[in-house]
Structure 1
Amino acid sequence: MNPFRAWVGRAWSHSRLIFCAMQSMAAANLERFYPSIIPIGQELRKEASVMLACSTDCQRETLLALLMIGATSSWFNPKDSGASLFLSFQSRLKRAILLNKVDINGAEGLFYMGSLVYWRMLLSYVHDHPRIVRDEIGISVRVPSQPSTLSFNNTPHPWAGVGFEIQKILCEVGLLIRTKRRKSKVPDDEPNPNLFDSQNSLLEAFELESRLLQTGCPAEDQVTNPGDHQTPVDHLLVFAEVYRLLGLLQIYRIFPTVLTSRLAADRSTWISSTRRIFNMVHHHAMTWGLQMNVPQDQFSPNFMAIWLTLFAYSIIEKLKALPIEAGTGAFQPFLLVACSGELRRPSVFTAGLKALIHSDGSLILMETGILRARQILLGRLQMLRDFLPPKPWDLCVSIVQEVWSRMDAISFPSILDKESDSGMDNMPLWLDVMIDHGYETLMG
């Protein structure tokens, strides 16, 4: 039921383009066992790239090859996002749709659009090109939120799973927070960012938060079972929920005003799924003896830091339930890296936290839990390196270790001295580490 695998499987024996693309991917995956195969894979990739550059068509084999060569660029060079190939795929797909070569709501069209959204989502966190992070197809896909009958629309996508709409929102989140962090790095002697732009960004953050809270996933019985015993439907639904939680985490981290507004809101007006999301944080807080029910005027920076840490911990707990060898394994690195930046270790000597705890033992419990979550996260990344092309995952591990190193060098009060709607600017962030060190790799 995987159209990607089926189409490639039928084409490779008669299409030199597909053959070279597929073999180059295999070579990249085998290089840690057979280093001598690296030049062969590079030569096959080069041949496929030349064939793509010399053609202008928008046939199925060309579109598939662009996905195969472009989305695996980081397998060969971890700092190559495949951006130019993404743009080529996007423009050729649009032409294929306009020429009626691809039905946008048919099996092939939905596969391509899901692939495009997933690829763009990853790119939006590592690339600034406006043509990449903005949707240039301009054609809507009919994906009902609650399908009444089983169809391809609710058959899991090989890359996007069942979280198509959520990943579309995550594209916009990536563009917003990356732009915000880049503006925050403007030197003090340069003109301050335009206040109007800052207010627009905050309004956009509020809108994206609302959309993420309102966008749900289909019920389990509404999703076609793909027949993969290692990746049942409930795993795919958990994965889609993790994407949604991650989007919220990034918004709340960069725009603390959005989080304080949400926490101060009347909970009786929340839909059940929103209430469930925020109850996760209180569940873990109670487990560690932390008191998180504080009045609105006590939403201090220390409180916000702990809340974000508990939220990130909740996401890791959900990911922990998904086996690393399952079909979702190859798509976890981005989620793991983005969560890593909120796993702060509290200090038992941090006076600013005394009002939030019942006893000093609560901080010890919390630190133990965070250290375990870190161990799980890093262990997953290292395990993925053992059965996926290793180059991008090495950078992922470097990002995670560096952001933790920066966190552990400071304490809660000092990292929250400066707070604004540009985010908690002095607090270490995974996105900053990635940008500062040039670790911008495609994590998927």
Structure 2
Amino acid sequence: MAKEWGLSYQVRWIEIGRHKYNFRSLGVLGTTDTLMLDRTHQELAKEDHSPSDIVSLPAARDKVHRVPRNILNIPSLLITRWFEQVCPIWSAFDSEISLNRTLAKRLWGESEAVLTSLQSMSAAYMSNQAPQMKAAALQYMQAAMNAITSEILVLNTRGVMQTLPVGVLFALVCMGTIFGWINRHELVNRLLRNTKAILSEAKLHSQSFSPSDRQMLSFFVSSTQYWDTLVTFMGVEDESGAAVSDNNSEDTMLHFDINGNETQYSSLTPHPWTGISTLTSQLFCESIKCCRSFRKKMKGHEDGPASLLDALDVMARAEQLELMLKQLEYPNLDEIGETGDQLTPRQHLIEAAEAYRLSALLHLYQTFPNTSTEVSPIGSFEIARDDVIWGDRVVPLALYLTDLLKKIPPESGSRSLLPILYIAASTGLRFRGGLSSVQLPTALGHSSGLLADHALSFDLGDLSWTHHHGSFDGFTSMSEDIILIGDARHLIMQRLGLLENCLYPKPIEIAKNLVKAIWEAYDNDLFNQHDVHWADIMEDLGLRSIFG
């Protein structure tokens, strides 16, 4: 995908206060020419014609009809399309209450960085239906990065930050989304790190900010935390080889109410990216970091006391997170502000927040099977400390999570939150003992999975092959969880297919391939070793993207 979009860049260092910024001013290969728009009929009329150019009336009519009847103003069209098509899929809910929409309305006429960033998003989104828009998307990306760099330079000359640079921050978030769409992970990380650095600098001076700037600071902190969650889930490493992390994780837990007072929660107005899942997604992010760190240590086969102590520290952190997740409570429905979006009632946001909580627990239980659990996280089944982890903890939790996600319709405005949650649920949908537990006849059991296209590719006209497999009585009894897991797998693939048609499709396509690869690895684990882990599969196959 990176080669397909043909991006190249040069490094430009920018320093603001104590923080160093590394922006890449994009130079787009093969698109250096001025963006060509359709010429107007007046321009066509000014062209000189020799007598030999005079043609018959029918030919002249044919020439006239080849001129477009409606001349589109591409820059204006892209802004219009952003508000009509991109904003709804970029938010957990979409209405005049959403800060994503209101900020874009206020800033696109004031900030060149915001204007070109919105145009870049629209052009990239439209290129799925009209590939001709790809060249325009590349040019607008280049213009947006140049504008962001220029505005950062202006900000740098002002010394102490007295007001929050809302336009620059909003543009950075927009561009981070685009590069996530087209799988330019190194640029996603670079923009994320610079956004965090700007926010860290802003927090040092936040006491002198106006109440509105303090509210915007809380908004961008929450937005960046969710961005960090998506990057952490896909496990991309930075240039030093370490997993991308927030060096100011304590700061990201701070929120501000509308009066500028520091509180645990900003207000009960839903966030346009996370809904009411801001704190829950933070715990999800920390859980994923624990899981990835532990798997990396296990795969590295490191020995020695230091490695053992590191592993024990990660396990202790996992137990702390489990306790925090089980004690987490949400506000009552009537305490949550309205979304203003008919497609996204508040109940959808509560269900999404609960899905994040269960997803975090699901990943912890898979990665740390000895995690102590005394209370069921969902109350629908009893868990004992020494029970079989997958059969009595992971699978039931994954089935419950899938049922919860089923309640959120695919047309909900919160659909942008769902891809990562569908993937999380899929990681727990494992048949006991692989496909061997299904007890398929030999002729069917050689398939790599129950859903393989060739699983039933035999001649139904000749049923003599059935004589070698005994009576039909062998199919009269089957573990109920086999049916439930099969139904849950079908639902997840069906929902991902629907999301592929309404969200930016490339990340959803990767999500579908990742889920299939996880299930295939489970189904082929005939000896039930339970050493298959979703993070290893994502790493080994390179099936990573920004799933949100």
**Superposed pair shares fold, TM > 0.5:** yes
1:431: which partner in 2?
A: 535
Could you tell me which runs of 5 or more consecutive residues in structure 1 were left unpaired when the two chains were aligned.
145-150, 283-291, 352-358, 417-423
Over 3 Å counting, the alpha-carbon distance change for 1:80 and 1:186 in structure 2 is same
Q: Deviations over 1:102-148 (max 9, x none)?
A: 7599431221111011111112222345684234275352479xxxx
2:276: which partner in 1?
A: 162
Selected match of 1:335 from 392, 408, 421:
421
Deviation of residue 62 (structure 1)?
Answer: 0.5
TM-score where L is the length of structure 1: 0.81
Selected match of 2:245 from 133, 137, 140:
133
Over 3 Å counting, the alpha-carbon distance change for 1:87 and 1:401 in structure 2 is same
Over 3 Å counting, the alpha-carbon distance change for 1:349 and 1:387 in structure 2 is closer
The code of the aligned residue for 2:176 comes to: G
Deviation of residue 237 (structure 1)?
Answer: 0.6
The code of the aligned residue for 1:324 comes to: P
The code of the aligned residue for 1:385 comes to: E
The code of the aligned residue for 2:492 comes to: L
Selected match of 1:5 from 88, 91, 101:
101
Instruction: Please say if 1:196 is aligned against 2:309.
Output: yes
Selected match of 1:88 from 194, 202, 209:
194
Larger radius of gyration: 2
Instruction: Please say if 1:382 is aligned against 2:497.
Output: yes
1:310: which partner in 2?
A: 396
Q: Distance in 2 between matches of 1:174 and 1:98?
A: 29
1:326: which partner in 2?
A: 412
2:360: which partner in 1?
A: 247
Q: Distance in 1 between matches of 2:187 and 2:503?
A: 17
2:219: which partner in 1?
A: 111
2:121: which partner in 1?
A: 25
Deviates more, 1:45-54 or 1:152-161: 45-54
TM-score where L is the length of structure 2: 0.66
2:173: which partner in 1?
A: 67
Contact 1:245 1:315 in 2 (8 A): yes
Contact 1:242 1:319 in 2 (8 A): yes
Over 3 Å counting, the alpha-carbon distance change for 1:219 and 1:235 in structure 2 is same
Q: Deviations over 1:249-270 (max 9, x none)?
A: 1111100111xx31xx3xxxx5
Instruction: Please say if 1:400 is aligned against 2:515.
Output: yes
Q: Deviations over 1:21-48 (max 9, x none)?
A: 1111112222221111111112111211
Question: SS in structure 1 opposite 2:545?
Answer: coil
Q: Distance in 1 between matches of 2:339 and 2:514?
A: 34
Could you tell me which runs of 5 or more consecutive residues in structure 2 were left unpaired when the two chains were aligned.
1-96, 156-163, 258-264, 439-473
Q: Deviations over 1:186-227 (max 9, x none)?
A: 258x76972111211111111000011112111111111121
2:342: which partner in 1?
A: 229
Deviation of residue 313 (structure 1)?
Answer: 1.2
Deviation of residue 235 (structure 1)?
Answer: 0.9
Contact 1:156 1:224 in 2 (8 A): yes
Q: Distance in 2 between matches of 1:177 and 1:406?
A: 19
Q: Distance in 2 between matches of 1:105 and 1:245?
A: 34
Contact 1:392 1:442 in 2 (8 A): yes
2:5: which partner in 1?
A: none
Q: Deviations over 1:343-395 (max 9, x none)?
A: 113468549xxxxxxx9867443222211111111121121111222222221
Over 3 Å counting, the alpha-carbon distance change for 1:369 and 1:77 in structure 2 is same
Determine which structure has the larger strand proportion and give its number: 2
Determine which structure has the larger helix proportion and give its number: 1
Q: Tell me how large the CA RMSD over aligned residues is.
A: 2.9
Q: Distance in 1 between matches of 2:151 and 2:116?
A: 15
Q: Distance in 2 between matches of 1:306 and 1:187?
A: 29
Q: Distance in 1 between matches of 2:511 and 2:137?
A: 23
Q: Distance in 1 between matches of 2:216 and 2:230?
A: 22
Q: Distance in 2 between matches of 1:74 and 1:193?
A: 36
Over 3 Å counting, the alpha-carbon distance change for 1:391 and 1:242 in structure 2 is same
Larger RCO of the pair (alpha carbons < 8 Å, separation 6+): 1
The code of the aligned residue for 1:115 comes to: S
